[in-house]
Structure 1
Amino acid sequence: MAQFISKKVLGSTLTLVFVLVFNFFLFRVVQPDPVANLFRGRNVPQARLDQMRTDFGLDGSRLTQFWAYLRETLQLNLGFSYQSRQPVWDDIASKIWPTVQLVGLAAILSAAIGIIGGVIAGWRRGSAADYSITSTTMAFYSMPDFWLGMLLLVAFAVVFPWFPVGGMTELGVEHSGVGAILDRLHHLALPCLTLTLAYLGEYAIVTRSSLLDVMGEEYLTLAQAKGLRDIQVRNRHAVPNALLPVVTLAAINFGFVLSGAIAVETLFSWPGLGKATSDAVLGPDLPMLQGLFLVFSAAVIVFNLAADVLYAFLDPRVRPA
């Protein structure tokens, strides 16, 4: 088992190294001269542009810039944002918690509701409950999240003004204690509902398919022959084994939590990493884009590693002989 984990850690480390190198060259191919792009259409003196290139470490050769990039990144120094002129890591760190609140909560809710729906649909295959759950969840899953968000925004913030149109807190009003929590939840409701509905379908369909595969196993027939009730057979024997593929899906989705939901965060003006990505693209803000891409990639790699290790503990069949 230790050898299995070591191989997985080594593979994840090599993947992260590849991402680190790819991250450097990608944005410099897309933007050979980011300072010139930043001030495009403006009458800026050449001396000012040259000074900006020096300040942001863009005046040396590609090789010199690359070694400086590796050295600084290993020290968690991701450079300075072109827009805020603040350290990129500080900007990213200040936006992680809002994204975790929104996307993390939506991931938990969609997983819980989707799994329950998938279990009901799979156990009652061919029933009205199966058709209704599968059709509804897949309908939401097929919708682009920004379009679904716009529908909810128009319905529940414009037509019926029950929720705010955007932001994280009410502007111009200071809340404390329980009032602050309720205000945050009030602003969180619509974007969280959007992402929850958008993610439901994949959990429901994977759970349903996995449960249908498990239902043909002989140990379930044996459990029924022993006189166990259907609900006991389902909860004690079928569901625990059917949830194994869902573990991998959940881990991968939680790996995307830090990447935020660019369209939804931008639509609802939620000040997280997704909106920061949108703002950096519009800038364009090369250091911020590099830092965000690296953080997103690292999160996915770490959660994939956790999924591989957890799956090996849950299912002995994937362990090395």
Structure 2
Amino acid sequence: MPGAPEARADRRGGATASAYPAYVAGKLAGAVVSLFAVLVTSFFLFRIIPGDPVKAMTHGMPTSAEQLATLRRQFGLDLPMWRQFTDYCAGALTGDLGMSYQFRAPVGELIAQKLPATLLLTGVAVVIYSALGLWLGTRSAWRHGGTGDRLHTGVALTLWSVPSFWLGLLLIITFSVGVGPIPGMFPTGGMESGDETGVSYVLDVAHHMVLPVLTLVAVGYAQTLLVMRSSLLDEMGSDYLTTARAKGLRDDAVRRRHAVPNALLPTVTMVFINLGHVAAGSILVETVFSWPGLGGLFYQALSVPDLPLVQGLFVVFAGAMILMNLLADLLYPMLDPRVGR
């Protein structure tokens, strides 16, 4: 019968199945629009930075007007702005991000050279502080008001408000230079000593990573903890948790099987945004610790300004964030089927 429960269930299932492709198409269209906005922003934003990149390339050496004009023509800076923009967009869509002014090398190659160091540093940090923040945030919310909750929340709020570069400098002073009875135990910067191979090289890189990873973890775990704690507290008064307890489920099972999955949506968004930061790295932390990654490369490019390199890095950073947000949106219906309907 058309009004039977089975028929209604079939209609709901069919409606959900047809709604999800439309949901995915909408998110993909939004990502494409966002990426185009990034291309437009990256082109015009960095052209308001004061400074002449052609004069910066000469490093203050005496240069005639004819030589400067030749350099501008060589790098396409003598073309009308609309022509530069169309050439830039056409190149970006085909993977050609241009030629760096200061390094005289393709931007794509420079990014590929520095990307592994950034992925190593920020990837390790994101995995550690996401797991730590989720675990401590869940425990703090489930036992809110207790001593542990107040302690974790107070420490998290303090670390979240601390600038990462200031914390990095403080760690360098304390554990690299040494303060009082604390000896200098870690390098002040860089990724390697340069004279190690094999297992010794791996240990050397890990030794150099301790302080920058600790800086990123200290700030990142605080944000994850506070978001997870807030989301779980919103769920704790829900009727379905009371029903689960009335069925005889233990408190740990209620938290793990019912409360935490429903509190994960805001935290999943933040975790995926943090994964987007893996490609972007941390400009301030990499600069403070002289880490040879994309963050330090961006700082170098911005100081010239090296427009093709700055634009290329900006597109990579923003593109990684857009991709991670898209993946988070596509994951939502798996965590909460109501999202994709």
Identify whether the pair has TM-score above 0.5, normalized to the shorter chain: yes
Task: Say yes or no: does 1:161 pair with 2:184.
Answer: yes
User: Could you tell me which residue of structure 1 aligns to residue 333 of structure 2?
Assistant: 312
Deviations 1:160-179 (A, max 9, x none): 221111111113x1311x22
Counterpart residue type for residue 187 of structure 1: H
User: Could you tell me which residue of structure 2 aligns to residue 67 of structure 1?
Assistant: 86
Stretches of structure 1 lacking an aligned partner (at least 5 in a row): none
Q: Aligned-pair distance for 1:13?
A: 0.2
Task: Say yes or no: does 1:83 pair with 2:105.
Answer: no
Does the Cα contact within 8 Å between 1:248 and 1:311 map onto a contact in 2?
Answer: no
User: Could you tell me which residue of structure 2 aligns to residue 198 of structure 1?
Assistant: 219
Q: Aligned-pair distance for 1:132?
A: 0.5
User: Could you tell me which residue of structure 1 aligns to residue 278 of structure 2?
Assistant: 257
- 2: CA distance, partners of 1:215 / 1:63: 56
The correspondence for 2:197, drawn from 155, 175, 184, is: 175
The correspondence for 1:27, drawn from 46, 57, 60, is: 46
Does the Cα contact within 8 Å between 2:53 and 2:304 map onto a contact in 1?
Answer: no
Matches within 5 A, 1:246-285: 246-285=267-306
How much identity, in percent, do the aligned residues show? 46
- 1: CA distance, partners of 2:51 / 2:291: 31
Task: Say yes or no: does 1:51 pair with 2:73.
Answer: no
Deviations 1:282-306 (A, max 9, x none): 1221111011111111111111111
Deviations 1:4-47 (A, max 9, x none): 10111011101111211222222233358531354475421112
Counterpart residue type for residue 119 of structure 2: V
Distance change (3 Å), C-alpha of 1:142 and 1:32: closer
Secondary structure at the residue paired with 1:76?
coil
**Structure number with bigger Rg:** 2
Does the Cα contact within 8 Å between 1:252 and 1:303 map onto a contact in 2?
Answer: yes
Q: Aligned-pair distance for 1:67?
A: 2.0
Stretches of structure 2 lacking an aligned partner (at least 5 in a row): 1-19
CA RMSD of aligned residues (A): 1.5
Secondary structure at the residue paired with 1:269?
coil
Secondary structure at the residue paired with 2:279?
coil
The correspondence for 2:307, drawn from 286, 293, 297, is: 286
Secondary structure at the residue paired with 1:271?
coil
- 2: CA distance, partners of 1:44 / 1:133: 60
Does the Cα contact within 8 Å between 2:189 and 2:291 map onto a contact in 1?
Answer: yes
Secondary structure at the residue paired with 2:62?
coil
Counterpart residue type for residue 112 of structure 2: A
- 1: CA distance, partners of 2:252 / 2:43: 54
- 1: CA distance, partners of 2:159 / 2:36: 37
Task: Say yes or no: does 1:112 pair with 2:131.
Answer: yes
- 1: CA distance, partners of 2:280 / 2:141: 32
Deviations 1:234-259 (A, max 9, x none): 12221222222210111112112211
Counterpart residue type for residue 15 of structure 1: S
Deviates more, 1:260-269 or 1:234-243: 234-243
Secondary structure at the residue paired with 1:257?
helix
Counterpart residue type for residue 288 of structure 2: L
Deviations 1:64-86 (A, max 9, x none): 22222122222211111111111
Report the TM-score when normalising by structure 2.
Answer: 0.89
Report the TM-score when normalising by structure 1.
Answer: 0.95
Deviations 1:206-250 (A, max 9, x none): 111111111111121122122222112112221222222210111
- 1: CA distance, partners of 2:258 / 2:98: 53
Deviates more, 1:65-74 or 1:150-159: 65-74
Distance change (3 Å), C-alpha of 1:101 and 1:259: same
Does the Cα contact within 8 Å between 1:56 and 1:79 map onto a contact in 2?
Answer: no
